[in-house]
Amino acid sequence: MADNLLDDLGIPSSDYRVHVCLGPNCSLRGSRSLLAALEAKIWEKGLNRRVETLGTSCRDRCEFGPSINVYPGPVQYSEVNELALDAIIEEHLVHGRPVDRLIFRGKSVR
């Protein structure tokens, strides 16, 4: 028997889980379309077997939305737009390097 239940079941485990806040404030700032863009870009880059995406409830960073958490971590990103999303995908999800300039530090990152 394999060391991991997912392996036993023939289900690949993800390298990353990306949670996109769909709370009311982040949704008003475009998080629903951001989640759709994230999912499309992950498929385009062939990362769909390595990256799991999930829309979540409020991340409690309402004034800094849209918010994304990347696990393992979490690495918390805020004020994410499509340009930031491209950097997160390329640098963090493809190359394993969190995007320092976009990481949430308790104040506006821009």
What single string gives the DSSP state of each residue in 26-95? HHHTTHHHHHHHHHHHHHHTT-TTTEEEEEES--S-GGG-S-EEEETTTEEE-S--HHHHHHIIIIIIIT
What's phi and psi for 61, nearest 5 deg?
-135, 45
> Are 47 and 94 spatial neighbours (Cβ–Cβ below 8 Å)?
yes
With H, G, I as helix, E, B as strand and everything else as coil, classify residue 21: strand
pLDDT tens-digit series, residues 63-85:
999 999 999 999 999 999 999 99
pTM of the model: 0.84
Q: Distance (Å, rounded) from C-alpha 82 to C-alpha 90?
A: 12
Q: Distance (Å, rounded) from C-alpha 6 to C-alpha 17?
A: 15
Asked if the model's pLDDT at residue 3 lies above 60, the reply is no
**Residue % of the chain over a pLDDT of 70:** 85
Degrees (nearest 5) of the Cα angle 67, 76, 65? 20
Q: Using 50, 70 and 90 to split pLDDT, how confident is the model at 109?
A: very low
pLDDT for 6: 53
pLDDT tens-digit series, residues 36-47:
999 999 999 999
Asked if the model's pLDDT at residue 104 lies above 60, the reply is yes
Alpha carbon separation from 60 to 38, 67, 76, 107 (Å, rounded): 21, 9, 11, 13
